[in-house]
Copies of this chain bind each other. A is one copy, B any other.
């Protein structure tokens, strides 16, 4: 029983309107077309997407769980999550813990595929920075860290990381729009990669704390500037 049909890598995603709406809404938030704090009105949004409110509501619930939208109480309406220094600090401290955990898990299982994926994504990040493509830089940085989380082979960890990643993207994207130069510095990940491939796990732990601390400082400075600019 040979199959004459061409091999398909994976069944193409039967996309529902809810999934499409969630994706579109996510992009709208991350590109800032809906600014932090802006109200999200169901009827208007549904009309603009050309769908009914039912699937859109489910998509909104999805983004609420991701932390990109917030709802204060029932019938209160939902808004885009505002930028907040406390949340930013929590993002980076928890992210540090998760990434340390990821490295502890992957450490003894690091193979050539891991090292190659790491340096490959690092090269892509460097190139994106060189080309002054800020949006690509952000995506590349996510991809770089994603390599580690994927390699850990820990489903629950991956899920927790995803929950954080969404919020993080919100801050980076806002930063990106505010300045012309939003992406990470060109050499920001050199030490990170070096230690990630190296032999010393403790050194990697320390590097992670430093790396995150630097990232957090940048975000906090941005938030502070933004606040006094608003006043």
Q: Which residues of A contact B (CB under 8 A)?
A: 11, 14-16, 19, 54, 57-58, 61-62, 65, 67, 73-75, 86-87, 90-91, 93-94, 97-98, 100-101, 105, 154-157, 159-160, 163-164
Cβ of B62 and Cβ of A156 under 8 Å apart?
no
User: In the complex, which of the residues B11, B58, B90, B155 contacts A61, with contact meaning CB atoms closer than 8 Å?
Assistant: B58
Give A100 Cβ to nearest chain B Cβ, in Å: 8
How would you classify the secondary structure of chain A's contact residues: helix, strand, loop or mixed? helix
Question: Do the beta carbons of A156 and B73 come within 8 Å of each other?
Answer: no
Contact (Cβ within 8 A) A154 B62: no
* Number of copies of this protein chain within its complex: 2
Taking a contact as CB atoms under 8 Å apart, the answer to whether B74 and A14 are in contact is yes
Q: A90, B14: Cβ atoms under 8 Å? A: no
Is A16 touching B90 in the complex (CB atoms < 8 A)?
no
Please determine whether A97 and B98 come into contact, CB atoms closer than 8 angstroms. Answer: yes
Do the beta carbons of B154 and A14 come within 8 Å of each other?
no
Residues of B contacting A97 with CB < 8 Å?
97-98, 100-101
User: In the complex, A75 Cα to B164 Cα: how many Å?
Assistant: 28
Interface centre among A15, A16, A73, A74 (most CB of B within 10 A): A74
- What are 12 A-B pairs at a CB distance below 8 A? A14-B74, A15-B74, A54-B54, A57-B58, A58-B58, A87-B155, A90-B155, A90-B156, A93-B154, A94-B156, A156-B164, A159-B163
